[in-house]
Amino acid sequence: MKRFVIGNWKCNKNIDDARRWFDTFASLYRPAPGVEVIIAPSFICLADLAVHVKGLGLDTVSLAAQDVSPFPKGGYTGAIAADMVRGLADYVIAGHSERRRYFHETVQDVVNKVHEAVDFGLRPVLCVEPAAAMSQLAPLTDIDCEKMIIAYCPADPLTFRIPESPDKVREGIGFIAEMHPNRAIVYGGSINLDNAAEYLALSGLSGVMVGAASLEAKSFAGICNLAGTH
């Protein structure tokens, strides 16, 4: 089973910060067979990092857009269409709880974003929450994208920085696997270097999605190196 470690920087780091982060990360990360690292920087960093990552020789590291427009290119001021991201990133995060909560994104908005991403060759990382997992997943059951990743991201651990117990995570990924048996599933919710190994060891889990702990290159490299041993 392929393993994924996803770092979501959210609204942090300018281009210089991002370059320094990758320079440090490259010196500490130990690539392992079957492990792919995905970093989601801010949009302003994507174009620069697409070049910088290649220059560092980080062949097992991919970039992701933190979001994408639910609409194609056109008269949508401030939006960034999937077609504009193609060539800069391989993945796009869709449906993160912060987007649903603070930007009032609906299930249909997320469905549209996933379809836009897939149409232009981007691999969605679809975030779902326990209480709404069925309604968030059902409209995408037939989507033609075998490489889509489902991120099980309970809202409370993201808000209060207290990770959900491994038993609860096991229960959640089991429910998702029943609906999407062939999808990679990762857990996101207050993952850090101290607790990552416990979650990486869970049967049926393909990896982790890291928020705050991904902002520091040393701790994130440590999590990535752990993934190569589980």
Supply the residues annotated as catalytic: 96
- Token couple for 195: 């607790």
The rounded distance, in Å, linking the Cα atoms of 178 and 155 is 21
Q: Under the phi-then-psi rule, with left for phi > 0, alpha for psi from -120 to 50, and beta for the rest, what region is 80?
A: beta
Going through the chain in order, the beta strands assigned E by DSSP cover 3-8, 35-40, 61-65, 91-94, 123-128, 149-152, 184-188, 207-210
The whole-angstrom separation of Cα 170 and Cα 162 is 16
SS3 call for 151: strand
**Sequence-separated (6 or more) residues with CB below 8 Å from residue 173:** 152, 185, 187, 202, 204, 205
Tokens of 136: 């968030």
Other beta carbons within 10 angstroms of residue 225's beta carbon come to 18
Beta-sheet strands, E only, within 95-190? 123-128, 149-152, 184-188
